[in-house]
Amino acid sequence: MSEQTQITPETKISALLDHYPQLEDVLIEMAPAFKKLQNPILRKTIAKVATLRQVAQIGDVSLATMINKLRTAAGQTTDSEIDDESNEASVPPGWFDSTKIVKSLDARPIIESGQHPMSQVLDELKVLKSGEIYELITPFLPAPLIDMAMKKGFQAWSKQEQTELVRTFFVL
């Protein structure tokens, strides 16, 4: 990253760590969930599409705090006006109805084995009919996957039930 390319909420993790490898330790210090970035498979897949905004959601870390810590560690100036959206989403959306869940995937074993379920989930979402709900169970908020699904016209809602248990629901 050049001097003019400031670390921003939209900076991709792979670009950040390619230019500032020392920031990996700063990320891990902020949230233990970020230790998963050391997995080579996740590093090659998730890190290429995940932004700092998404990673802040995954790690349940204030976006402003994360960006400013990373900027400080990289020798950049900090910013007090970073849009630090609330990650509160505990109220189910109007479209959510558990009786409409037609497919559920517990991706935790897949992720633990070093794989990533992104292509499988996207393939399974393709066959979802309007109003049907797909449930994805992961150990963290799958923010990049949610963004990809939303760009394809899906709505998504996530709820963290316990540490390392996040249920994300998709509907077309």
Q: What is the predicted pLDDT for the residue at 90?
A: 58
pLDDT above 60 (res 48): yes
DSSP string, 132-161: -EEEEEESS--HHHHHHHHHTT-EEEEEEE
pLDDT above 60 (res 89): no
Residues of the chain with CATH 3.30.110: 98-171
Split at pLDDT 50, 70, 90, the class of 4 is very low
Average of per-residue pLDDT across 47-74:
83
Out of 3.40.1710, 1.10.3720, 3.40.50, 3.30.110, the CATH code matching 98-171 is 3.30.110
Report pLDDT digits (tens) over 93-120: 889 999 999 999 999 999 888 888 999 9
Average of per-residue pLDDT across 51-75:
85
Angstrom distance (rounded) from CA 141 to CA 167? 8
pLDDT above 70 (res 23): yes
Work out whether the CA dihedral 135, 140, 145, 151 comes out positive or negative: positive
Q: Does this model's pTM top 0.75?
A: no
User: For the chain, how far is it from start to end, CA to CA, in angstroms?
Assistant: 38
Angstrom distance (rounded) from CA 6 to CA 67? 10
**Contact assessment for residue 139 and residue 109, using Cβ atoms and an 8 Å cutoff:** no
